[in-house]
Structure 1
Amino acid sequence: MNAWKHRFTGPAGILQVLRVALPLMISTGTFSLVLFIDRTLLLWYDGSAMSASMAAGNLFWALICLPFGLASMTGAFVAQYVGAGQQEKIGRLLWQSVWFALGTAPFFLILAVLAPWMFRASNQPPDLIALESMYLRILLVGAVGSVLDTALSGFFSGTERTQTIMWCSIATAAMNVVLDVGLVFGIGPLPELGIVGAGIASAICFWFKAILFAALIWYQADESLYGFRCGRVFDFPLLKRLVFYGLPAGLQFVVESGGFTLIVLQIGSLGDIPLRATTMAINFNMIAFIPLIGLSVATSVLVGRHLTQSGPALAQQVVWSALSLALTYSLAWTAIYLLVPDTLLSLYRMGNIDSGSEASLALARGLLGFVAMYVLFDATQLILAGALRGAGDTWFVLLGTTACSATALSIGHYFEPSDTALRWWWWAITSWVWMLAVTMLLRFIQGRWRSIDMIGKRDVDLLP
Structure 2
Amino acid sequence: MWFSRATLNRLFLLALPMVVSQGALALMSFADRFFLSRISPVHVAASLGGGVSFWVCLCFFNGIAAYGNALVAQYFGRRDMRSCPRVVTQGIMLAVVAMPLLLLLAWPMLSLFEWMGHAPELVALEKPYFLTFMSGGFFFLVKTVLASYFSGIARPRVVMIADLIGVFLNIPLSYVLIFGRLGLPELGIVGAALGTVIACILSIAIYLLFYFNPIHARRFHLRKSFVFMPGIMRRYLRLGLPSGFEVLIGMGTFNVFLLMFQSYGVAEGAAMAIVFNWDMLSFVPLMGLNIALMSMIGRTVGAGDMSRTNEVISAGFVMAVSYAGVMGLCFVVFRESLLRMFATPGMDFSPILAVGAPMMIGMATYVVADGLILVCSGVLRGAGDTRWLMVASVSIHILTLIVQVFVIRVWQLGSLVSWYVFVAMLITNALLYLWRVMGSRWRHPERLARVMLE
Q: Give the distance between the partners of 1:60 and 1:82, measured in 2 at CA.
A: 33
Given that residues 87 and 226 in structure 1 are in contact (C-alpha distance below 8 angstroms), is that contact kept between their aligned partners in structure 2? Answer: yes
Residue 431 of structure 2 aligns with which residue?
438
Please report how far the alpha carbon of residue 170 of structure 1 lies from its aligned counterpart in structure 2 after TM superposition: 0.6
Given that residues 102 and 148 in structure 1 are in contact (C-alpha distance below 8 angstroms), is that contact kept between their aligned partners in structure 2? Answer: no
SS at match of 1:354: coil
Residue 75 of structure 2 aligns with which residue?
81
How does 1:213-224 map onto structure 2 within 5 Å?
A: 213-220=207-214, 222-224=216-218
How does 1:315-464 map onto structure 2 within 5 Å?
A: 315-349=309-343, 352=345, 354-355=347-348, 357-416=349-408, 420-451=413-444
Q: Can you list the C-alpha shifts for 1:343-386, whole angstroms capped at 9, x where unaligned? A: 2223224x52522x442123211110100111101110111011
Match of 2:231 among 230, 237, 240: 237
How does 1:24-423 map onto structure 2 within 5 Å?
A: 24-220=18-214, 222-309=216-303, 311-349=305-343, 352=345, 354-355=347-348, 357-416=349-408, 420-423=413-416
Which is worse superposed, 370-379 or 202-211? 202-211
Which is worse superposed, 16-25 or 189-198? 189-198
Q: Can you list the C-alpha shifts for 1:216-244, whole angstroms capped at 9, x where unaligned? A: 20235523331222111112232121011
Which is worse superposed, 213-222 or 239-248? 213-222
Please report how far the alpha carbon of residue 312 of structure 1 lies from its aligned counterpart in structure 2 after TM superposition: 2.1
Given that residues 73 and 299 in structure 2 are in contact (C-alpha distance below 8 angstroms), is that contact kept between their aligned partners in structure 1? Answer: yes
Q: Give the distance between the partners of 1:458 and 1:399, measured in 2 at CA.
A: 18
SS at match of 1:193: coil
Change over 3 Å in CA distance of 1:108–1:447 after alignment to 2: same
Amino acid aligned to 2:125 = L
SS at match of 1:215: helix
Q: Give the distance between the partners of 1:120 and 1:459, measured in 2 at CA.
A: 46
Q: Give the distance between the partners of 1:438 and 1:220, measured in 2 at CA.
A: 47
Given that residues 43 and 49 in structure 1 are in contact (C-alpha distance below 8 angstroms), is that contact kept between their aligned partners in structure 2? Answer: yes
Which is worse superposed, 300-309 or 282-291? 300-309
Change over 3 Å in CA distance of 1:415–1:136 after alignment to 2: closer
Amino acid aligned to 1:129 = V
SS at match of 2:223: coil
Change over 3 Å in CA distance of 1:227–1:430 after alignment to 2: same
SS at match of 1:50: helix
- State the TM-score, normalized to the length of structure 1: 0.93
Change over 3 Å in CA distance of 1:308–1:453 after alignment to 2: farther
Q: Can you list the C-alpha shifts for 1:389-428, whole angstroms capped at 9, x where unaligned? A: 0000001111110111122112222244766421122112
Q: Give the distance between the partners of 1:245 and 1:453, measured in 2 at CA.
A: 16
Change over 3 Å in CA distance of 1:453–1:139 after alignment to 2: farther
RMSD: 2.1
SS at match of 1:300: helix
SS at match of 1:222: helix
Given that residues 45 and 185 in structure 1 are in contact (C-alpha distance below 8 angstroms), is that contact kept between their aligned partners in structure 2? Answer: no
Given that residues 296 and 382 in structure 1 are in contact (C-alpha distance below 8 angstroms), is that contact kept between their aligned partners in structure 2? Answer: yes
Q: Give the distance between the partners of 1:143 and 1:225, measured in 2 at CA.
A: 31
- State the TM-score, normalized to the length of structure 2: 0.95
Amino acid aligned to 2:432 = T
Change over 3 Å in CA distance of 1:203–1:322 after alignment to 2: same
Q: Give the distance between the partners of 1:333 and 1:409, measured in 2 at CA.
A: 27
Given that residues 384 and 448 in structure 2 are in contact (C-alpha distance below 8 angstroms), is that contact kept between their aligned partners in structure 1? Answer: no
Change over 3 Å in CA distance of 1:188–1:305 after alignment to 2: same
Change over 3 Å in CA distance of 1:452–1:343 after alignment to 2: farther
Q: Can you list the C-alpha shifts for 1:20-71, whole angstroms capped at 9, x where unaligned? A: 0000001000111111111111111122111111101111111111111101
Q: Give the distance between the partners of 2:280 and 2:79, measured in 1 at CA.
A: 37
Given that residues 116 and 129 in structure 1 are in contact (C-alpha distance below 8 angstroms), is that contact kept between their aligned partners in structure 2? Answer: no
How does 1:4-23 map onto structure 2 within 5 Å?
A: 9-23=3-17
Given that residues 115 and 136 in structure 1 are in contact (C-alpha distance below 8 angstroms), is that contact kept between their aligned partners in structure 2? Answer: no
Q: Give the distance between the partners of 1:455 and 1:45, measured in 2 at CA.
A: 53
Please report how far the alpha carbon of residue 333 of structure 1 lies from its aligned counterpart in structure 2 after TM superposition: 0.7
Please report how far the alpha carbon of residue 457 of structure 1 lies from its aligned counterpart in structure 2 after TM superposition: 7.7
Change over 3 Å in CA distance of 1:347–1:160 after alignment to 2: same
